[in-house]
Structure 1
Amino acid sequence: MPTKTEKSFSLLFIFLLALEIITSSFKHLQIFNYIAKPALLISLILFFWKQSSHLEKKIKLLIVLALICSLLGDILLMFTNHSTYFFMGGLLAFLTAHIFYVLVFLKQRNKSKKGWVFMGLMLVYGILLFYFLRDGLNNLLYPVIIYMIVILSMATTAFLRQGQVAKNSYILVFVGAILFMLSDSILALNKFYQPLPFTDFSIMFTYGFAQLFIVLGLLKQP
């Protein structure tokens, strides 16, 4: 069961997420998005730092670095209209965040769990996604392929925690990892395949809850 602190923070986080979606959806409010978007991850970093005293120092550091890189990615992606370099910077920041999460999940993996079926599903998912993206990637072909490998690895290593960590920790982190993968997939399809309806909402909704669930799940691991 979630603690009172977790419930209170989750409500605050959902409010900030709604604020971000609203300020990014209406043109006359977009100036406020420069505050609302970073506030989402800043609140999560502060919450995690305060609640994570029971975690191993190395694990705690890796999670904080993942969240900081995500915050940097959020900020850089707000300026993609000005230059493609901001998109590349955001891609690199999130790539690094995923690598930090992979390192955390690997430290908590169940070494007896192979997960070949799930890996096969992830491979099929990656191939199907690449099929839709390939014609629009151009000079970003290799960076996007590398990114896809890392995000699929993040979902896979989250799956491999099963049986090694507390059940509620496993479920929250695994659902969060899948949501993160979906968020990145929607963003990629919207940018490299064709514009999709309600992308601002769907990307941020899945991304916001992905980060929240991963953090809450990691905090529940003794």
Structure 2
Amino acid sequence: MTSPSRVLKSVGPKLVPFFKSVAVYFVLFIPVDKPSVWAMFVKCAPILSLMVFVLLHGMSLGDEYMFSRRILIGLIFSCLGDALLVWPHYFLHGMGAFSVAQVFYIKAFGFESLKPLLTVPLYGGALYVVSILLPHTSDVYTIGVPVYGVLLTTMVWRAIARVRFSRNQWTWTEICSCIGGMFFAISDGIIGFDRFLQTVPYSQLLIMTTYYMAQVGIALSVVDSSSVYKLSLQSQLKAETDDTVSSIIAGMNVSSDTDEAFVSKAKWNSHDVREQVAVHQHSKHD
């Protein structure tokens, strides 16, 4: 496992723009009831810097960067959602953009390790929250809120499930995406209560703090994604090679056994023939 000091030296400088833009956001702290293009830019700047962060860790159309591409697309739609949510009448559109972001995060985290037991508390908690919010929604939100809740919960499930706790093979990037997923749920939960139920004190501060923590955690998961893919490919290739070698050896053993049986049978048949000839000659002599 990579030491924290090496991680800070390699990753830290690339995150400087993110932390600076987050600092600018909280210093200016433009109230949500004063939407403007400037407010949109200040809000979106940290996510834009995370996009650059992902690109700095490599990007191509190859399979080794499939994880990074999906995280990048998720960030792009998140940034679009941030921009739309600056204006309250675009809330539904913003929720749609974040729904697409959740889909790409889910695709990035994958379903390799299911860990179905996690679904009980996660979906149970989501169902409880939706049941509280749903009576206070109307029109398309009656469908939109549950659908987004399912997508968000699935993303959190996959973010937690990818951490290999049982085999003690977890990496710090897996922990980051796990924490990021949970903070995303907290941030969106506060948004839901603040918009549909009642005003939450310091909602803007709480929402944006947890949201930026969520996105940076998810973005950090790309740091070793290409190397993990290559290691996985090497392990798969080694396993396939071992299977092929085992099959060849087994085939050779079967062939050897068959040859021995054939030779033994031939010797036995030859012995029978010699005995029959001897008997025939003896009877003829008599």
- TM-score, normalization by structure 2: 0.68
Q: Deviations over 1:65-120 (max 9, x none)?
A: 1111011001111112xx2xx1111001000000000001116x32xxx4233211
What is the Cα deviation at residue 64 of structure 1? 1.4
Match in the other structure for 1:4: 9
Q: C-alpha separation between the residues in 1 aligned to 2:200 and 2:194?
A: 5
Match in the other structure for 1:49: 55
Mark the runs of 5 or more structure 1 residues left unpaired by the alignment. Answer: none
After superposition, where does 1:61-100 map in structure 2 within 5 Å?
A: 61-80=69-88, 83=89, 86-100=90-104
What is the Cα deviation at residue 17 of structure 1? 1.5
What is the Cα deviation at residue 51 of structure 1? 1.3
Match in the other structure for 2:150: 149
Matched-pair contact (CA < 8 Å) for 2:35–2:86: no
Matched-pair contact (CA < 8 Å) for 2:18–2:47: no
Q: Deviations over 1:133-157 (max 9, x none)?
A: 1221111111110000000000111
What is the Cα deviation at residue 179 of structure 1? 0.4
Aligned-residue identity in percent: 23
Matched-pair contact (CA < 8 Å) for 1:21–1:200: no
Match in the other structure for 1:39: 45
Q: C-alpha separation between the residues in 1 aligned to 2:130 and 2:31?
A: 32
**Runs of 4+ residues over 4 Å off in structure 1:** 29-32
After superposition, where does 1:121-200 map in structure 2 within 5 Å?
A: 121-139=121-139, 140-163=141-164, 166-200=170-204
Over 3 Å counting, the alpha-carbon distance change for 1:6 and 1:30 in structure 2 is farther
One-letter code of the match for 2:153?
A: L
* Structural RMSD (CA): 2.4
Q: C-alpha separation between the residues in 2 aligned to 1:149 and 1:26?
A: 30
Match in the other structure for 2:205: 201
Q: C-alpha separation between the residues in 2 aligned to 1:30 and 1:90?
A: 14
Q: C-alpha separation between the residues in 1 aligned to 2:156 and 2:41?
A: 30
Match in the other structure for 2:264: none
Matched-pair contact (CA < 8 Å) for 2:67–2:222: no
Matched-pair contact (CA < 8 Å) for 1:155–1:174: yes
Mark the runs of 5 or more structure 2 residues left unpaired by the alignment. Answer: 228-286
Q: Which moved more, 1:116-125 or 1:198-207?
A: 116-125
Matched-pair contact (CA < 8 Å) for 2:70–2:105: yes
Asked which structure has the greater RCO (Cα within 8 Å, sep 6+), the reply is 1
Rg comparison, structure with higher value: 2
Q: C-alpha separation between the residues in 2 aligned to 1:61 and 1:198?
A: 35
Over 3 Å counting, the alpha-carbon distance change for 1:148 and 1:26 in structure 2 is closer
One-letter code of the match for 2:43?
A: K
One-letter code of the match for 1:144?
A: V
One-letter code of the match for 2:157?
A: T
What is the Cα deviation at residue 26 of structure 1? 5.2
Q: Which moved more, 1:97-106 or 1:133-142?
A: 133-142
Over 3 Å counting, the alpha-carbon distance change for 1:160 and 1:8 in structure 2 is same
